[in-house]
Structure 1
Amino acid sequence: MRGSFTAREAWPGVFLLGHLLLASTTLAADWTPGGESERQDISADLAYAKRTAVRPSDSKQVTAHLVFFTSRAFRLEVIDLGAGPEPTYPTLGAAFLAEGCVAGVNGGFFHPDWQPAGLMISKGRRINRFETAKLLSGLVYSDDRGIHLVRRSRFQDHPGIAALLQTGPYLVENGRTVRGLSTSDPRRRTFIATDWRGNWVIGATTSSLTLAELGESLASPDALTPWRIDRAINLDGGSSTGFFFDPGTGRVPVSLQPWKRVRNLLGICTR
C-alpha cells in the first residue's frame, strides 16, 4: 500500500519548486540597459538607436546598432547580390540606396558556391528551395498583408510573397529565450525581432556573444528594445555581420560593412 503525505510534508517540495522557477525567470531576464544608449521615439515609424545591454552577474556587455520600424509603414526587401565572383553592389550602403531601402542588415546563410541556404525570395523570384536543416528553423517574409516571422513547421507557402529568407535559429518565442541555444562560439550577431503588434527591429551587434546570450538579452525587458519582444530569429552573423541606416537630409549614414562577401541582404523599404 502506498504511503500518504500531508500538505505540510509536500510544502518543502513546493517551496523548492517556486525558488527554481523564480531563479529561471531571473536568469532569463538578467540583462539590463547599460551605458549612454541612444533612445528612440517609440511612437515613430522609423528610428535608429545604438544601445548597450549589461548582464549584472558578470558585467558582460553587448552593444548593437538597431533600427526600429513599423509594419504599417514599411516592408521587407531581400536584395540578391548574385552567385558570381563579384557581388551586384560593391558595398552594403550602395546596395540599400540603389534599391530604395532606408536601412538593412546582411541576410541569411549561404553555401560555399554562394547558393542561399534554404528558400530565398527576392522581388517575388524564388531562388533555391525549402530546406529542413535544423539551423533553418524559421522564415521571415513580406507579403501584401504585412511582415511575418514564423516557425518552419507553421509556414504556409502562398502566392504574393515578395521577399523571404529561411534562416535561424529562433532566439525568442512567446517572450522567452528559446531553450537549447548554443552557449559557445561567441561572435558578432545579426537578427530581426518583433513584439507581434506591428513593431519590428533589425540589429547587428558590434560585440561578440553566443546565441544563448543574444536570446537572453533580447528577451530581457528594455535591455535592447523599449517594448517586449515576442519573437526573434538569428540571421547570418560572424564575418557576415553588416548594418546600414540612412538618416537622410544630407547626414552621414551609419554603416557596418561585413568582413566577407555575402549572398543577400535584408532591407527595409517604405510601403
Structure 2
Amino acid sequence: MRLCALLLALLASGSSHAEWRVVSGAAWPPVDAPLSHRKRTLESTTGRTIRAHLALFDSRRYQLEVLDLGADLASSSIWPQQAQAAGLLAAVNGGFFHADGQPLGLMIAAGQQVHRFETVKLLSGVLYSDTRGIHLERRNTFRLRAGITALLQAGPYLVERQQPVRGLSTNDVSRRTFVVTDWRRHWVLGVTRDGLTLAELAEVLTTPEALAPWPVERALNLDGGTSSGFWFAGVVGQEPIQVRSRRPVRNLVGVRPR
C-alpha cells in the first residue's frame, strides 16, 4: 500500500504544471491595431521569471518574409541592420542550421528554394507564406507547391488546438524564439530574454493573455538558445527595439506591409 501511494505521488508530481502570472506589461493593443510591440514579464509558481519581447501583427495587413543571410555566418552578426535594409518592420532569428551554415531542413527566401525538405523529428512544423496568407502546419500535412514565397522548417510544435503538445522537453533551460497564431489572421513573433524549458514555454503560451491577447491555437519553436534575437523598427524618431543574438544565424523570420 505504501509503495502504491508513493508511486501515485511521484506520478502526480511529474504531471503537475506551473501556473504563470503577468508581473508587468502594457495593455494589449486593439485587435485591429497595426504592427505592435509589447514587452511582458511573467512569474511561475515554481519561481521561474521570464521576460519576453513580442511583435503582434495581422496577416491581412502584413506578409511573412524569410531573409537569407547566407552561409557565411560571420557576416550575420549585423542582422538587425540587414533586416532594416530589407524593409522588414520586425524580425526574429529563424530556423536551425548546420555547422557549415547550411539550413537544417527546407528554406524558401524571396521565392528561391534553399536546401531540401527533411523529416528529422525536430522539424515537426512548417511555417510559410503564399498569396493566400501565412500558414503554420504539421510536417506530415504539408505539401510543397508553387507560389510559396517564404518558408522555414522548424520545431518542435509547442501548441496545437490551444493545448500544449505532449512530450516536450522538461530539461533544457534556454532562451526561446517562437511564432504563434490564433489561426484567425493574428500572429506573434516572440523571444524570451530568460531561459525556460520547451514544456514551460508551451504552458506559458496556453495561459490566457500571457504572451498573446487571444487564445493561441498553434505555436512553433524556432532556433533558440544563443541564436535568440529580436528586432522591432518602432515608430519614426524612436530607436529600434533589439535583443541581440549571442551567435550568428543563417536566416530571419520577419514581416513587411502587404
- TM-score, structure 2 length as denominator? 0.91
Deviation at 1:27, TM superposition (A): 3.3
**Structure-2 separation of matches of 1:42 and 1:137:** 32
The amino acid that maps onto 1:41 is P
- Paired residues of 2:183 and 2:217 also in contact (CA < 8 A): yes
Alpha-carbon distance in 2 for matches of 1:219, 1:39: 18
User: Cα 1:172–1:150, aligned 2, differ >3 Å: closer, same or farther?
Assistant: same
Q: Determine helix, strand or coil for the equivalent of 1:216.
A: helix
Equivalent residues of 2:73, 2:101 under 8 A apart: no
* 1:174 aligns with one of 144, 148, 161: 161
Deviation at residue 85 of structure 1 after TM alignment: 5.2
Q: State the structure with more CA Rg.
A: 1
8 Å CA contact retained: 1:53, 1:224: no
Q: How far, CA to CA, are the matches of 1:54 and 1:86 in structure 2?
A: 36
Judge conservation of contact 1:92–1:243 (CA < 8 Å) in 2: no
**Structure 1: 5+ residue runs without aligned partners?**
1-19
What is the SS of the residue equivalent to 1:164?
strand
| TM-score in terms of structure 1 length | 0.87
Matched, 1:270 2:253: no
Question: Given the alignment, which residue of 130, 144, 152 partners 1:143?
Answer: 130
Alpha-carbon distance in 1 for matches of 2:212, 2:235: 23
| Alignment of 1:224 onto 2:211 | yes
Asked whether 1:236 is paired with 2:232, we answer no
Deviations 1:18-70 (A, max 9, x none): xx9xxx7x837x22222x21233133031100012222x22322210000000
Which whole-Å CA distance do the structure 2 matches of 1:60 and 1:268 have between them?
31
* 1:116-139 Cα shifts (integer Å, max 9, x gaps): 000000000000000011000000
Q: How does 1:41-190 map to 2 (within 5 A)?
A: 41-43=29-31, 44-55=33-44, 57-84=45-72, 86-87=74-75, 90-190=77-177
Aligned-residue CA RMSD (Å): 1.8
Cross-structure match for 1:215: 202
Partner deviation per Cα, 1:71-109 (whole Å, 9 max, x = no partner):
00011111111112532x551221111110100100000
Taking every aligned residue pair, what percent have the same amino acid on both sides? Answer: 50
Count of aligned pairs = 246
Runs of 4+ in 1 over 3 A off after TM superposition: none
C-alpha distance in structure 2 between counterparts of 1:111 and 1:60, whole Å: 31
- In the alignment, the residues of structure 2 paired with residue 78 and residue 245 of structure 1 have an alpha-carbon distance, to the nearest angstrom, of 15
What amino acid does structure 2 have at the position aligned with 1:113? D
Matched-pair contact (CA < 8 Å) for 1:32–1:222: no
Counterpart for residue 27 of structure 1: 17
